[in-house]
Amino acid sequence: MDRRRTAHRSSGQFSAGNAGARLRDHPRKRQKAGDRQLAGQNVLPPIDCPFREADEQLERVRKETKCVLVDFHAEATSEKIAMGWHLDGRASLVVGTHTHVQTNDETILPGGTAYITDAGMVGSREGVLGMERTAVLSKFKTQLPARFVVDEGKWQFHGVYAELDETNGRATAIEKIRLTEDEWLIMS
């Protein structure tokens, strides 16, 4: 997979030359769905205001579709919750990412926007945020740099399922998806 193409990019938030924001058409549906990524400012490296960027992107995308999906890649739960309220009634789904730990706050906001602070990760549940735990522990305990490698332990699958009304773009359902390798093995 080309990392440059899959990195979280939004045209106005990043310096010129970076890949721009994308509007993904979902061909299996008659209705288009606009898919945007925004990045937060708290803890993460400084970047342009995601709230202002969201306003510009939403105005553009909503001319083409009522179903707008927003991935907000940010560290602070407060910033992600604030973005949910900021986009309530204008986005169909706002999903926070980056912290790897699935939150228990999925909801449909009053304006019809389905929201969760963090969808969680797909990766090993035996490491630390998907990384092999020995190196992470060493770094915490010694404050010395350590080379992180992806952990190969038992996996966990986290995500979100949402239903949208394509006539008005409002969400009608949101559910967390949470599956461990052991649960999957029992089911299969």
Q: Which is nearer to Fe ion, 9 or 98 (CB)?
A: 98
Based on DSSP, count helices (H) and strands (E) in the chain, helices before strands: 5, 8
Q: Which is nearer to Fe ion, 121 or 162 (CB)?
A: 121
Identify the DSSP state of 19: P
The residue range among 26-34, 79-87, 92-100, 129-137 that interacts with Fe ion, by the rule CB under 5 A, is 92-100
Q: Which is nearer to Fe ion, 36 or 98 (CB)?
A: 98
Q: Tell me: does residue 9 bind Fe ion (CB under 5 A).
A: no
Q: Tell me: does residue 90 bind Fe ion (CB under 5 A).
A: no
Q: How big is the site for Fe ion, counted in residues (CB under 5 A)?
A: 1
Q: Which is nearer to Fe ion, 66 or 98 (CB)?
A: 98
The residue range among 31-39, 77-85, 94-102, 153-161 that interacts with Fe ion, by the rule CB under 5 A, is 94-102
Q: Which is nearer to Fe ion, 47 or 109 (CB)?
A: 47
Coil vs helix vs strand at 25: coil
* Structure token digits, residue 80: 């992600």
- For residues 132 and 128, give the distance between their C-alpha atoms in angstroms, rounded to a whole number: 6
Give me the least distance between CB of 27 and Fe ion, in Å please. Answer: 28
Q: Phi first, then psi: what are they for 59, rounded to 5°?
A: -60, -40
The residue range among 16-24, 32-40, 97-105, 156-164 that interacts with Fe ion, by the rule CB under 5 A, is 97-105
Q: Tell me: does residue 98 bind Fe ion (CB under 5 A).
A: yes
- For residues 83 and 42, give the distance between their C-alpha atoms in angstroms, rounded to a whole number: 13
Q: In this structure, are residues 20 and 9 in contact, taking their beta carbons and an 8 Å threshold?
A: yes
Number of other residues whose CB lies within 10 A of the CB of residue 144: 7
The residue range among 24-32, 95-103, 148-156, 179-187 that interacts with Fe ion, by the rule CB under 5 A, is 95-103
Give me the least distance between CB of 122 and Fe ion, in Å please. Answer: 13
Contact partners, residue 93, CB within 8 Å, separation at least 6: 68, 69, 70, 113, 114, 115, 160, 162, 164, 171, 174
Q: Which is nearer to Fe ion, 1 or 186 (CB)?
A: 1
List of residues contacting Fe ion (CB under 5 A) = 98
